[in-house]
């Protein structure tokens, strides 16, 4: 789907965004908000030019008239556009930020404007947003391990697929080793649309695990950030544990001690070993 806004004309092209792996544009579930991705193909989008024109259209007394792609003009390769109606930027929440890859496949932030219809508008099922609107409050629910994990944009490309597979296989071996039922948390933070999925959660012990397919410093650092981010959305706060394919360096173990995170790592003969969150453990 391609959308255009006339009068301020930022030239947004969700079809191009979809080719990069995202598509936020379209109606929310109850047709009260039309989501519209801002302009800027490389790096973080900036609130200038067309994006600023959309945000400030009230102050500039300029109308927002929305058009969506509707096939091709007969006999040409030029896209035809159908008029949807007149809109305004939502006063209370004019936009939110999302993460998405740019044309160089680098992860960046984009503006997603929230537009409200001002008069009679055209609704089509084809113009429904695939992501939906933001949540006003954070939602955190337990789901089975087998629950589908939405595609993320972290480490795009083949390397990300390999890393995810290694982490998934490590989790499976650990679950089999303990012989217990594990779940995962599905978290949708307030003001965002894309859910976050944790790796493993042991409800009996109230323990949250983040798995990594390698024990490098970069992987450990990222895991700490992920665990702390997840923890603040879960009640009661769970214990935090990093699951690794082998023992990390002594300095990284000290780092995990300092931030109060346990470490479980795989060993060839014993299966898995645990290092407690504190030096007294």
What is each CA distance from 124 to 16, 70, 81, 127, 128, in whole angstroms?
20, 11, 13, 5, 7
Same structural domain, 92 and 157: no
Same structural domain, 227 and 253: yes
Same structural domain, 244 and 217: yes
> Which one, of 280, 272, 222, 204, lies nearest residue 244 by Cα?
272
Same structural domain, 81 and 192: no
d(C-alpha 88, C-alpha 71), whole Å? 26
Same structural domain, 155 and 257: yes
Phi-psi region of 132 (alpha: psi -120 to 50; beta: other; left: phi over 0): left
Distance of CA 27 to the CA centre of its chain: 19
Q: How many domains does the chain have?
A: 2
Same structural domain, 261 and 196: yes
Q: pLDDT at position 205, please?
A: 96
Q: Write out pLDDT tens, residues 77-121.
A: 777 778 889 999 999 999 999 999 988 889 999 999 999 999 889
User: 3-state DSSP call for residue 69?
Assistant: strand
Domain boundary among 92, 127, 162: 127
281 occurs within a structural domain: no
Residue 27 pLDDT more than 60? yes
Beta-sheet strands, E only, within 139-254: 139-144, 183-188, 196-197, 200-202, 207-211, 239-244
Domain boundary among 95, 127, 159: 127
Same structural domain, 251 and 189: yes
Q: pLDDT at position 151, please?
A: 46
Please classify residue 87 by burial: count the beta carbons closer than 10 Å to its beta carbon, then call 0-12 exposed, 13-18 middle and 19+ buried. buried
Helix axes 250-258 and 217-231, enclosed angle (nearest 10): 20
Same structural domain, 157 and 269: yes
Q: Domain range holding 70?
A: 3-127
> Which one, of 189, 263, 187, 186, lies nearest residue 224 by Cα?
263
Q: pLDDT at position 12, please?
A: 42
Report, as an integer, the average pLDDT of 239-255. Answer: 97
C-alpha count within 13 angstroms, C-beta hemisphere, residue 244: 28
Q: Are 54 and 113 in contact (CB under 8 A)?
A: yes
d(C-alpha 38, C-alpha 8), whole Å? 12
Same structural domain, 82 and 31: yes
Residue 215 pLDDT more than 90? yes
d(C-alpha 197, C-alpha 28), whole Å? 22
Residue 3 pLDDT more than 80? no
* Bond prior to 236 in cis (omega within 30° of 0): yes
Residue 2 pLDDT more than 50? no
Report, as an integer, the average pLDDT of 189-201. Answer: 94
What is each CA distance from 226 to 155, 223, 230, 233, in whole angstroms?
15, 5, 6, 12
Residue 157 pLDDT more than 80? no
75 occurs within a structural domain: yes
Same structural domain, 21 and 63: yes
Q: pLDDT at position 77, please?
A: 74
Same structural domain, 92 and 192: no
Q: Are 209 and 202 in contact (CB under 8 A)?
A: yes
Q: pLDDT at position 149, please?
A: 56
d(C-alpha 84, C-alpha 78), whole Å? 19
Q: pLDDT at position 281, please?
A: 45
157 occurs within a structural domain: yes
Q: pLDDT at position 146, please?
A: 80
Same structural domain, 143 and 259: yes
Q: pLDDT at position 9, please?
A: 41
Of the spans 17-26, 59-68, 70-79, 175-184, which averages the highest pLDDT? Answer: 175-184
Domain boundary among 127, 156, 178: 127
- CATH number at 175 reads 3.40.1350
- CATH number at 34 reads 2.30.280
Lowest-pLDDT range, 59-73, 83-97, 165-179?
A: 59-73
């Amino acid at each position: 789907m391609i959308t255009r806004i006339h009068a301020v004309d930022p030239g947004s092209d969700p079809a191009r965004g979809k080719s990069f792996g995202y598509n936020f544009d379209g109606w929310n579930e109850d047709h009260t908000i039309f989501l519209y991705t801002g302009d800027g193909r490389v790096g973080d989008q900036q609130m200038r030019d067309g994006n600023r024109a959309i945000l400030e259209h009230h102050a500039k007394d300029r109308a927002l008239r929305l058009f969506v792609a509707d096939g091709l003009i007969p006999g040409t390769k030029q896209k035809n556009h159908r008029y949807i109606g007149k809109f305004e930027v939502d006063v209370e929440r004019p936009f939110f930020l999302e993460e998405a890859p740019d044309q160089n496949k680098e992860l960046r932030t984009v503006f997603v404007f929230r537009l409200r219809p001002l008069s009679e508008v055209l609704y089509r099922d084809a113009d429904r947003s695939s992501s939906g609107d933001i949540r006003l409050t954070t939602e955190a629910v337990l789901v089975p391990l087998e629950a589908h994990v939405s595609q993320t944009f972290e480490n795009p490309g083949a390397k990300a697929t390999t890393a995810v597979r290694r982490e998934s296989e490590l989790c499976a071996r650990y679950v089999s080793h303990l012989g217990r039922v594990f779940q995962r948390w599905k978290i949708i933070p307030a003001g965002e649309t894309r859910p976050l999925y944790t790796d493993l959660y042991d409800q009996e012990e109230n323990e949250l695990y983040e798995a990594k397919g390698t024990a490098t410093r970069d992987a450990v650092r990222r895991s700490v950030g992920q665990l702390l981010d997840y923890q603040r959305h879960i009640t009661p706060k769970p214990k935090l544990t990093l699951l690794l394919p082998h023992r990390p360096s002594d300095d990284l173990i000290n780092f995990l001690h300092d931030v109060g995170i346990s470490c479980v790592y795989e060993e060839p003969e014993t299966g898995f070993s645990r290092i407690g969150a504190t030096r007294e453990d």
